[in-house]
Structure 1
């Protein structure tokens, strides 16, 4: 068997296990950027609920990542809640992030930042400042080799031009890193 096929089979099995555990994921599982959302999707005017990051927030994030230089497919999404709406236990969230293995992790809202803080508590307490350890919105920190940024309410910012500018300023801290070779 070809080594590439073995890697693909391994990834399929790991992602399948996460899906069976109720983990909600979307996008490219091999991407550099993982967008983590804690707040539920906002229903559309017709009452339907879009899938994870397929609403206005997802469209705005895709546009922002494209403006930063990321390829259109270079993002993944993860909910901190399972398919039944319950919060993922910290170990499951940590496993999901480790499985997806992003270079950049973006907590889109306060609920996502809180879940990431809990999942990576041991690593965060080792950081040099309280702001870094608590994932203060707008501050980029390094955790296990990942750049981590808490945006602090991306979806809510879409209705306020000043808040949108703040989110854009925060996201501009995360340009593509390029390949490591």
Structure 2
């Protein structure tokens, strides 16, 4: 016999399933745990990802998940999202980007490359314009900003940085700014 708590939980899952299905039908490409605290947004696909491989399944995804694990995130606590730059192939309308992030409701959004950061800039331009510093308002790499209650960190070019030891250290330093926030209860 289902309890009230079970019915409520099933209602939440059903709502999320319907929202995510609607987004997928409109071209939103995502993977991983939709209930996670971290969304890893990528706008520039590797050749494998262009041919249907899961987002962030290559060396960049391995490195990001390893970094998140070192910071204290659970192994399943991430979701991937394809956010190509506005005007490029597969680009999402700004309203769809906002709707997607509202449905996923992450505590932290990591823009892995400039294309994803541009999609977020376009989607949240009004919110970003109210930030005090220009680098924060422009989502420049390395700055952690809060947009509608979500921590946002742009990395600039995470995948490209993997080939350079110094750039890997820079990326690690930036990622250390976003440790898990902990549960709100």
* Structure 1 residue aligned with 2:173: 169
TM-score, with structure 1 as normaliser: 0.93
What 5-or-longer segments of structure 2 have no aligned partner? none
Q: What RMSD in Å do the two structures reach over aligned CA positions?
A: 1.9
> Are 1:14 and 2:13 an aligned pair?
no
Give the Cα separation in 2 of the matches to 1:99 and 1:10: 9
Cα deviation per residue 1:119-167 (whole Å; 9 max; x = unaligned)?
0001000111111100111000111111100011000011111111100
* Structure 1 residue aligned with 2:38: 33
* Structure 2 residue aligned with 1:93: 97
Cα deviation per residue 1:39-86 (whole Å; 9 max; x = unaligned)?
012339xx965221111111111101000000000000100149x942
Q: The residue matched to 2:81 in structure 1 has which SS? A: strand
Q: The residue matched to 2:54 in structure 1 has which SS? A: coil
What 5-or-longer segments of structure 1 have no aligned partner? none
Paired positions, count: 178
TM-score, with structure 2 as normaliser: 0.91
Off by >3 Å, runs of 4+ in structure 1: none
